[in-house]
Chain A
């Protein structure tokens, strides 16, 4: 059954047609990775799914329920889908633990003591049990991104969106974030990931979507798409990122 479903979504920024009629679905426990050149609309598409960007046309369904429509209730929809950003976007004035628990206490109304317990559990899960009191500026990029993943998981989301989660990281820090994501995938989290980390895509992704100029040109299981792409455009792009 599909956890996320995108039906013919369009987005314009002024005259710029960024997302041009995209449709796909992510089934429960699936890990779908979107690849494609920069400016192809991957991030915008991802943002349409939790309505950080309002789609101009089309429909998005989360767990079978349409999320597009009136502005009212948009917060509840967003809290069902976690998001991890390229630049981490941790709340700079809060400790790692407070970053993780803020949504729990303020959005879900969980009691502080309970939220704290859950927050520590999640920090442990991402390997940061010893850093609850650290502020984002005291953490490395990899650690910040792992806190951000814990923050997204705290809301107990139905799916998590990852927007180039390792692109802002030094090469030696990428592994620790990918390890956490891999672990998450193994546990059965539904994930939609924009990434060009080929190792992760090969080992973890159940499906790959190749997006160019606002459209999905090709899709399939990773080995198919990488080894025998149907289109010349896909072959060209893949040879570039593998180089």
Chain B
């Protein structure tokens, strides 16, 4: 919650979040019932897959957010020594398919001491670094949207560069970028399924890289009842939906809580 406090004074009522979280809970429940009824013998398998997917998502979204902040900030400083290399960073990472980045991680990381035991870290690093390019652009848009006068006013009070960042710039940036940040987080959540290309494991554990889609695929390949196949992937889809709704809910919570009264075209 500390990171949320960074955004400043609260407002809003929290009604949207309740709706959104209720939707997530209902869909999650549907997924749980589906799995319990249709695949009673592989419930544990599904649970591990879902937990790993969520873990991979949280790790890579957070890593992407942290790096993305510096990328977006650096790109908007106007200092060429900083912004040009970062432009290269963004263009290269955005220009390469995420699945290729995952495959590169798969062949490179074992060679630099990150063994298969740490495969979940490969996933987080690969997806997090990839996402940092997109989140960096989101941050850049946010930084560039802040009027110069805000910084001048802070400076005229005697605030330092980092005080201004902390109390003036960043709170406004975060409010502005919440919706596009939510976009990218949801994309990253779904893109954890790209880790399906990593090799499977004899044993399932948390944390591991056997994520939800891999679980579904493994089950499908082990099932000879062809009519079950669509149901397997449908169950996976419903689990993803429950999770994306959860992310939406968190974003909406933050949006509502930190809404500035009177600001915006649709302001009440």
**A interface, CB within 8 angstroms of B:** 50, 52, 75-83, 85, 87, 89-95, 98, 102-103, 106-107, 134-138, 148, 151-152, 155
Q: Are B261 and A152 within 8 A (Cβ)? A: no
**B interface, CB within 8 angstroms of A:** 7-9, 147, 149-150, 152-160, 163, 167-168, 171-172, 175, 258, 260-263, 267
Instruction: Give complex CA distance A144, B131 in Å.
Output: 40
Q: Are B8 and A94 within 8 A (Cβ)? A: yes
Instruction: Give complex CA distance A1, B165 in Å.
Output: 38
Instruction: Give complex CA distance A4, B262 in Å.
Output: 39
B175, B262, B267, most chain A CB atoms within 10 A: B262
Please, which residues of chain B bring their CB within 8 A of the CB of A151? 153, 157
Q: Are A135 and B157 within 8 A (Cβ)? A: no
What's the least CB distance linking A133 to chain B, in Å?
A: 9
Instruction: Give complex CA distance A151, B150 in Å.
Output: 13
Q: Are B262 and A90 within 8 A (Cβ)? A: no
Instruction: Give complex CA distance A92, B168 in Å.
Output: 9
What's the least CB distance linking B9 to chain A, in Å?
A: 6
Instruction: Give complex CA distance A202, B174 in Å.
Output: 46
Instruction: Give complex CA distance A95, B171 in Å.
Output: 13
The one of A78, A91, A103 in contact with B150, judged by C-beta atoms closer than 8 angstroms, is A91
The one of A87, A137, A152 in contact with B260, judged by C-beta atoms closer than 8 angstroms, is A137
Closest to B148 in A: A89
Please, which residues of chain A bring their CB within 8 A of the CB of B262? 135-138
Known: A91-B168, A92-B172, A137-B267. A78 touches B158 (CB 8 A): yes
What's the least CB distance linking B175 to chain A, in Å?
A: 7
Q: Are A93 and B156 within 8 A (Cβ)? A: no
Instruction: Give complex CA distance A78, B163 in Å.
Output: 14
What's the least CB distance linking A154 to chain B, in Å?
A: 8
What's the least CB distance linking B168 to chain A, in Å?
A: 6
What's the least CB distance linking B93 to chain A, in Å?
A: 31
Please, which residues of chain A bring their CB within 8 A of the CB of B149? 85, 87, 89
Please, which residues of chain B bring their CB within 8 A of the CB of A90? 153
Q: Are A79 and B157 within 8 A (Cβ)? A: yes
The one of A79, A135, A137 in contact with B158, judged by C-beta atoms closer than 8 angstroms, is A79
Q: Are A137 and B153 within 8 A (Cβ)? A: no
- Known contacts A78-B155, A79-B158, A148-B153; can you find 7 more A-B pairs with CB under 8 A? A75-B155, A87-B149, A91-B154, A91-B172, A95-B9, A107-B163, A155-B158
The one of B158, B160, B163, B263 in contact with A92, judged by C-beta atoms closer than 8 angstroms, is B263
The one of A85, A95, A138 in contact with B153, judged by C-beta atoms closer than 8 angstroms, is A85
Q: Are A135 and B153 within 8 A (Cβ)? A: no
The 8 closest A-B pairs by CB, nearest first: A79-B158, A137-B262, A103-B157, A89-B149, A138-B262, A89-B153, A83-B156, A137-B263
Instruction: Give complex CA distance A236, B258 in Å.
Output: 52
Instruction: Give complex CA distance A222, B215 in Å.
Output: 84
Please, which residues of chain A bring their CB within 8 A of the CB of B150? 89, 91-92
Q: Are A89 and B260 within 8 A (Cβ)? A: no
Q: Are B158 and A107 within 8 A (Cβ)? A: yes
The one of B152, B157, B171 in contact with A155, judged by C-beta atoms closer than 8 angstroms, is B157
Please, which residues of chain B bring their CB within 8 A of the CB of A87? 147, 149
Instruction: Give complex CA distance A135, B264 in Å.
Output: 12
Please, which residues of chain A bring their CB within 8 A of the CB of B9? 93-95, 98
Q: Are B153 and A91 within 8 A (Cβ)? A: yes
Please, which residues of chain B bring their CB within 8 A of the CB of A78? 155-158
Closest to B154 in A: A91
Q: Are B157 and A107 within 8 A (Cβ)? A: yes
The one of B147, B159, B261 in contact with A89, judged by C-beta atoms closer than 8 angstroms, is B147
Known: A52-B156, A137-B267. A93 touches B175 (CB 8 A): yes
A91, A98, A151, most chain B CB atoms within 10 A: A91
User: Can you list 19 contacts pairing A with B, beta carbon distance less than 8 Å?
Assistant: A50-B155, A52-B155, A75-B158, A75-B160, A85-B153, A87-B149, A89-B147, A89-B153, A90-B153, A91-B153, A91-B168, A106-B159, A106-B163, A107-B158, A137-B260, A137-B267, A138-B261, A148-B153, A151-B153
